[in-house]
Amino acid sequence: MSFQNPVFIPGPTNIPEAIRKACDMPTIDHRSPLFASILHPALDGVRAVMKQTAGETFIFPASGTGGWETALTNTLNPGDGVLAARNGMFSHKWIDMCQRFGLDVTVVDVAWGDGLPAARFEEILRADTQGKIKAVLATHNETATGVVSDIAALRRAMDAAGHDALLFVDGVSSIGSMDFRFDDWGVDVAVTGSQKGFMLPAGLAIVGFSDKAVTASKSNTLPRTFWSIDDMRKGYEANAYPYTPAVGLMNGLKLATEMLLAEGLDAVFARHARIAAGVRAASFAWEMRPCATSPDLYSNTVTAIRTPKGFNASDIVSHAAESYGMAFGTGLGDVAGQVFRIGHLGSMTDAMALSGIATAEMVMADLGLPIQLGAGVAAAQNVYRYGSTADKMAAQ
């Protein structure tokens, strides 16, 4: 029974039936022309979704974390400087990975709920007159807090500082759901995975490299084997892999990109914006606020909702699972117990979102929170009936 409910965790996301079928295929020879007819359209599709025309794109049999490692190990040297802000669990984990690789990370700690501090980055880059910082890390959408950061502003800050560090962007919970502009934003490495906006099971790390990042890979010295983009490129040139690819997932990815492009990227982004506005309207109706500290930071893929002081937000997640067979996300790290998360990305409709909002209301009422049943549902219904202008009203 519970399997029939959509999930509201911010990844893995719900899988459309057609994509599930596309992943379920008989074994094929992964060094055959048949594999080439999956590989190249999947790569082209991903490039179209992340608006990448320059550089190269690679797909590893891994999760998003492998994409982070691909970015670092193919471009940097031991001891290189890296600049990153920590505003949630995912940015924290990428920083931790850098440190484990012996990189010299300048960490800017900001409140969980805030975005990346572009102005502060600009100051730090200006002060780095010796060019010790080789890469700037940015988590486009911090999934732990539901905060989207302005990558275009970060690029402008880097340019204003006249600094030539590489720009690495974690787009795992944004690409395919919110606008992502690899070329326009001057992204050097973009990282995503299969299990969020691409509506697939986990199992693919998807990584875009700019020409500048590819050039850096020619002479950098951090070791890599599994993550080598050189080996991967050689594989692709022979319509193959340096090892065994996840063929079924790649066939699913090919279809997922076709579906996103057929819906139209602008329509996909508008759908996510509308659904998110409804979820936020519900949270305001419950007299709760998003963890994101201002409207420009509100994520359209996940909303972390702050519960009243003294209440353990994780109880919502466990009670929803036990009593209603529905999955929401818990608070992580600094905001554990203070927020619960509603993931609303990927294969999601207004009606699906309403079922999650309605269930969250039952759960919170069961747990004794002062929730009037139907209040959040009605607020979201008003957004879904009247469309995007209601977004502005709801955000007040």
Ligand X SMILES: *Cc1c(COP(=O)(O)O)cnc(C)c1O
Q: How far is the CB of 172 from ligand X (least distance, A)?
A: 4
87 contributes a contact to ligand X by CB under 6 A: no
64 binds ligand X (CB under 6 A): yes
Joined together, the tokens standing for residue 354 give: 């309403």
Would you say 132 or 181 has its CB closer to ligand X? 181
Angle at 237 between CA 236 and CA 240, to 5 degrees: 40
**Interface residue with ligand X, options 45, 193, 346, 376 (CB under 6 A):** 193
Q: Which is nearer to ligand X, 245 or 376 (CB)?
A: 245
d(CA 56, CA 265) in angstroms, rounded, equals 21
Name the 3-class secondary structure at 5: coil
Site size with ligand X, rule: CB under 6 A:
13
For ligand X, which residue of 35, 60, 90, 384 counts as binding (CB under 6 A)? 90
Examine residue 172 and tell whether it contacts ligand X (CB under 6 A): yes
Contact stretch for ligand X (CB under 6 A) within 70-78, 139-147, 150-158, 309-317: 139-147
Supply 85's token pair. 């802000």
Write down the least CB distance from residue 206 to ligand X, Å.
10
Residue 157 CA to residue 175 CA, distance in Å, equals 22
State which residue, 128 or 334, has the beta carbon closest to ligand X: 334
Q: Which is nearer to ligand X, 193 or 376 (CB)?
A: 193
Q: Are 88 and 143 a contacting pair, CB within 8 Å?
A: yes
Q: Which two tokens stand for residue 36?
A: 């080439």
Check if the beta carbon of residue 22 is closer than 8 Å to that of residue 251: yes
Q: Closest CB to ligand X among 143 and 338?
A: 143
| Contact window for ligand X (CB under 6 A) among 136-144, 332-340, 349-357, 372-380 | 136-144
The residue from 143, 251, 300, 303 that contacts ligand X (CB under 6 A) is: 143
Q: Which residues contact 248 (CB under 8 A, 6 or more apart)?
A: 22, 23, 24, 25
Whole-number minimum distance, CB 395 to ligand X, in Å? 23
If binding is defined by CB under 6 A, does position 11 make contact with ligand X? yes
Of 350, 378, 191, give the one whose Cα is nearest residue 276.
Answer: 350
Closest approach of ligand X to the CB of residue 1, in Å? 27
Can residue 333 be called a binding residue for ligand X (CB under 6 A)? no
Written as six digits, the tokens of 74 are: 């193919």
Within a 13 Å sphere around the CA of 5, how many CA atoms are in the beta-carbon half? Answer: 21
Contact between 301 and ligand X per CB under 6 A: no
CB of 137 or CB of 380, closer to ligand X: 137
Integer Cα distance of 22 and 12 in angstroms:
17
DSSP bridge partners of 190: 169, 208
Give the nearest distance from C-beta 296 to ligand X in angstroms.
18
Task: Select the span of 60-68, 128-136, 217-225, 385-393 touching ligand X (CB under 6 A).
Answer: 60-68
> Distance (Å, rounded) from C-alpha 194 to C-alpha 75?
23
Site for ligand X (CB under 6 A): which residue of 139, 217, 220, 251? 139
To ligand X, the closest distance from the beta carbon of 63 in angstroms equals 3
Shortest spacing between CB 90 and ligand X, in angstroms: 4
CB atoms within 10 A of CB 161: 18
69 binds ligand X (CB under 6 A): no
CB of 130 to ligand X, least distance (A): 31
Q: Please name which of 377, 92, 55 lies closest in space to residue 209, comparing C-alpha atoms.
A: 55
Residue nearest ligand X, Cβ-based: 64
* Secondary structure letter of residue 308 according to DSSP: P
d(CA 288, CA 361): 12
Q: Is 358 within 8 Å of 366 (Cβ atoms)?
A: no
210 binds ligand X (CB under 6 A): no
- For 273-291, b where at least 16 C-beta lie within 10 A, e where not — what string? bbbbbbbbbbbbbbebebb
* Shortest distance, position 164 Cβ to ligand X, whole Å: 25
Asked if 63 is part of the footprint of ligand X (rule: CB under 6 A), the reply reads yes
Contacts to ligand X by CB under 6 A: 11, 63-65, 90, 139, 141, 143, 170, 172-173, 193, 202
